[in-house]
Amino acid sequence: MSAGPARAEPVAPRAGDPQAARGFRRALRATLGRSYPRIIGSNRDKSWLFYDTVLPLLGTVSFVYVYKTFGAPERFLAYVIMGGATTAFWMNVMWSMAAQFYWDKQAGNLELYMVAPCGLLPILLGMSLGGLVATTLRAVVIVAAGSLLFGVSYAGGQIPALLLVFAVAMVALYGLGITFASVFLMWGREAWHMANTFMEPVFLLSGFYFPVRALGFWVGLGASLIPLTLALDAMRRLLFPGAHPALLPLAAEVGILAALAVGFAIAAWVSLRKMEMLARREARLSLRF
């Protein structure tokens, strides 16, 4: 594509001025607006109860039986159930968020998002919020059903810390999702292969079905770039205090997760701006020109 040099857009208005306040309110409304179809979708189309809970639970159950066959302690059954529930978040981030722009481009939504004054970030945040609410519901159903089915119990003494770890991890995870979404914005179908490539290795490296420590300290540390790795490790430690072979001290895990959250948020913002400009130059935002 040949295109002349594009000038950068001016910086956003300073905080405190009325234009900034109006922009903030608009971004907030756009976020809630875009989250609506995700949240209402769960209510309108009940098929998720089968496809998003029963089917993933079946996959999880097979790992439970492996552990039961070997007579592993009860907490290993919980590891697998928690891992099964957590895969829902990874799937949501990769396929319903990062890849969403691919579908949106096919349907003609992407160009309408681009032409709207709110920008893409609030729209992605809306997808995240809606996806997080819907996926949390699915994850809770998987954990509850799996735990009841196999009689697994958890230590409930550190719920606030557990919620904190979960919240920080989700910010990091969805920040990563927004970064991936900007890649889809530009490369669409090619990025599809990238998302596919990430699925199984991430299931392995994040320790979805076993303590990540089993991979060795350095491999585990490398895998910590994926927010779910340390999130699962920290949550397992909090639910099975004293028994779980954690990779790092809790404070270090939360600290790294917080750093990832900030890092991915910045990466998402920068990447989205750059990819948007590139996509406008390379005519990637629409099917028809």
Partner 1 sequence: MSHAIEIRDLARTYRSKRPPRSGGPATVVALDGVSLDVRPGELFGLLGPNGAGKTTLIKVLVTLLLPSSGSARVAGLDVVADARRVRELITMVSGGETSGYGLLTVREQLWMFAQFYGIPGRRARARIDELLEVVGLGEEGDRRVSALSSGMRQKMNLVRGLVPDPEILFLDEPTVGLDVGAAREIRAYIKRWIGEKPNRTILLTTHYMAEADDLCDRVAIIYKGRIIACDTPAALRRRSARGSRFVLTTDPLDPGARLGDLPGVVGTEMRTADGRSELELQLADDGAISGVVRALSEGDRKIYSLQKLEPSLEDVFVEIVGRRMEEADEPPSG
Query: Tokens in use for 137?
Result: 């519901």
Give the integer Cα–Cα distance in Å for 150 and 65.
10
Least Å distance, CB 194 to partner 1, is 21
The nearer residue to partner 1, 159 or 283, going by C-beta atoms, is: 283
Instruction: Verify binding: residue 22, partner 1, rule CB under 8 A.
Output: yes
| Distance between CA atoms of residues 76 and 59, nearest Å | 15
Cβ(201)–Cβ(208) below 8 Å? no
- The answer to whether residue 108 forms part of the interface with partner 1 (CB under 8 A) is yes
Q: Which is nearer to partner 1, 10 or 156 (CB)?
A: 10
Q: Which of 55, 63, 97, 114 is close enough to bind partner 1 by CB under 8 A?
A: 114
Q: Report the alpha-carbon distance of residue 125 to residue 38 in Å, rounded.
A: 12
Work out whether 118 is an interface residue with partner 1 (CB under 8 A).
yes
Among positions 64-93, residues that touch partner 1 (CB under 8 A) are: none
CA distance 101 to 112: 12
Contacting range for partner 1; rule: CB under 8 A; set: 40-48, 54-62, 78-86, 148-156: 40-48
- Binding piece for partner 1, criterion CB under 8 A, among 119-127, 233-241, 250-258, 265-273: 119-127
Backbone phi, then psi, for 17, in 5-degree steps? -85, 155
Q: Is 270 in the site for partner 1 (CB under 8 A)?
A: no
Strand blocks (E) in 28-179: none
Residues ≥6 apart with Cβ < 8 Å to 66: none
Which spans of this chain sit near partner 1 (rule: CB under 8 A)?
Answer: 1-4, 6-10, 22, 25-26, 29-30, 32-34, 36-37, 40-41, 44-45, 107-109, 111-119, 122-123, 277, 280-281, 283, 285-286, 288-289
